[in-house]
Structure formats: C-alpha cells, structure tokens
Amino acid sequence: MSLRKKFFVCLTVFIFQMASVLPVFAEGEAIQIKGSDTMVNLGQAWAEEFMRANPEVSIAVTGGGSGTGIAAIISNTCDIAQASRSMKEEEIEKAENSGEKIHETIVGYDGIAVVAHPSNPVSGLTIAQIADIFTGKVKNWNELGGKDLPILVLSRDRNSGTHVFFLEHVLRGGNSKGPEEFDTEALMMPSNQSLVQEIKSSEAAIGYVGLGYVTSDLKVITVAKNDGSEYVEPSIETVQNATYPISRPLYFYTRGTLRPAVQKFIDFVLGPEGQEIIELLDFVPLNKD
C-alpha cells in the first residue's frame, strides 16, 4: 500500500471515530439560544431558573445582536433566536427554504427610553421632534427650548435591534421602508453600556436605550405621540397599556417541530415564573389577560 493510500485510510477511520463520539455530547439535552444583546441578560436569567428545575437540560445563551441570532436560526445553528425586532420577509423566506416553518413567539415587551444628560433642561419631546433630532434637522438644543449647545446625537450601531426599531418606529414614523435616516453625524455606539456612559459624560448628548438600561443618573425624556397629546414617561405600566409610544415586542424565533425540552422552556418563559423574571429585569411582561 502506498503511503498516500495509508494516509487516507487512517483519515477515514479517524473521521468515523469522531463522528461516533460526537453525539455523546448532545445526550444531556442542550439548548442553544442566540441573538439580541438587549435580551441576553434576560435569556440568561430564564435559563438559570429553568435549569434549576430541570438539571438534565443545559442552556447556552449568547448575544451578538438580533441579526446574529436570526442568522443562526437561518443556518440552523441555534434552537431559539432572541430578537428585539421582527424577522424580515426575506429572512423568513431564506430560513424556510429548507422546508421547515419559522415560528414567532412574543415573550414580552421593551420600552425604549430617550435619555439625555441630567443637566439638560429639556424634559419632554414629541415623536416628531425626536425624529428631527436624530435625522439632523434640528442641530441645537436652543431650538427645543434648551441651552445654546449643539446636539450630540447618539445611536446604537446597525447590528442592534434597538437601532432598527428606533429607525423604523421613530425616525420613519412607523413606515419601515421610509426614506428617513440617521444623521451622518450621529455617533454609532457599539453597546448600550458605552452609549449610557457617553450620555453621562456629555451635556449635549441625547440617545436611546432599552428600559432595562435606564439608571437614575440619566435624564429620561417624556414622549408625546403628537403635538397635542400627553407627555408620557416610559414605565412598565405605560408600555403595557400602550400609552408610551416607543415600545416594542421581544421575540423568540424557532424552526420546525420543537424538541420537548425546547417547548418546555418556551412554556416556562411564557408562564408566571418567566414573566416574573421579565419584570425583575425591568422589561415589560405580557399582559396577563
């Protein structure tokens, strides 16, 4: 036998051995959850609580952004994609090419708070005003009744579900294909933490974050839907009763028929324990009715 042949025989044997060993790792029933950075702590909290009651299941939660999770569900490399935006039609189409249906579950809500530096005298803005700030039509705080200070616009970067939601629901007023865009001068922050930190350090800054990231040293701007309507502060109640205009659902995406463990986990999330955890982490639970 030539050396080359021997090599291939060895390689083949090796591959088969590996293949027979690998499934052993899966025996403990593992669930892979991937996606939205906004939801990563939430997913982790659910997973911990669930695993305490079901020690035979091991759940791994990773972030990377809604897009990352959705890409993973498309390529079938995770069981659940967490997303803070809904899947685009083209994404669903791509995922369903394999023949398996994509299933969407709303697991809770997130309100997006518009935040500014605590020293900023401006306390309430309309959706239209906010849109003007972020598209760059309004450049100075004095146009909004504030100090004579150029506005520093902070946005999350495009891999963030929050960015997409804010773009479509605030800047484009709900028309997801609208022409409006963030001002080119808007800073694109890579994480919620860095955005919050930058707001704290700059008097002129304005930005937006999920309700869970609001801390007491930030100024939370109250938002009015229209000129005449009431200015509402974001809170669990106002998101749940839909009086606060900038809120969004949080999604689980799954594909095909679910394994019992995955189904059990989703039921847990939608159940009272799961919903309690949502509230604990400053997100907004589903309406109990």
Partner 1 sequence: MESARKPWNRALEFLIERAIFFAGIISIFFVILIFVFLLKEGVSLLKTYPLKDFIFGQKWYPISEPPSFGVVPLLLGSLAVTMGAIVIAVPLGMGAAIYIAVVAPGWLKEILKATVEFLAAIPSIVLGFIGLVTLVPLVKQVFHLTTGLTAISGSIMLAFMAMPTIVSMMEDALTAVPRSYREGAIAMGATKWQMIWRVLLPAASSGMLAAIMLGIGRVIGETMAVLMITGNAARIPTSLFQPVRTMTATIAAEMGEAVQGSDHYFALFAIGIVLFIITFLINLAAGFFIGRAHHK
DSSP per-residue string spanning 159-212? T-HHHHHHIIIIITTT-TT-S----TTSEEESSHHHHHHHHHH-TTEEEEEEGG
Min dist CB 108 to partner 1, Å, is 22
What's the min distance (Å) between Cβ of 218 and partner 1? 16
Over the window 17 to 46, marking each residue x when it contacts partner 1 by CB under 8 A and - when it does not, the resulting string is ------------------------------
Count of residues that interact with partner 1, criterion CB under 8 A: 38
Examine residue 147 and tell whether it contacts partner 1 (CB under 8 A).
no
* 164 binds partner 1, rule: CB under 8 A: yes
Determine if 115 is a binding residue for partner 1 (CB under 8 A).
no
Binding flags for partner 1, 166-195, as an x/- string (CB under 8 A): -x---------xxx-x--xxxxxxx---x-
Adjacent-strand bridge partners of 148? none
Among 55, 201, 288, 289, binds partner 1 (CB under 8 A): 201
**Residue 122 binding partner 1, by CB under 8 A:** no
> For residues 113 and 195, which CB has a smaller minimum distance to partner 1 in the complex?
195
- CB atoms < 10 A from the CB of 30, how many? 13
For the chain, the first-to-last Cα distance in angstroms comes to 74
CB-based burial of residue 10 (10 Å sphere; 0-12 exposed, 13-18 middle, 19+ buried)? exposed
Mark the segment that binds partner 1 (CB under 8 A) among 5-13, 21-29, 89-97, 248-256: 89-97
The structure tokens listed for 214 are 């609001």
Tokens of 236: 């669990």
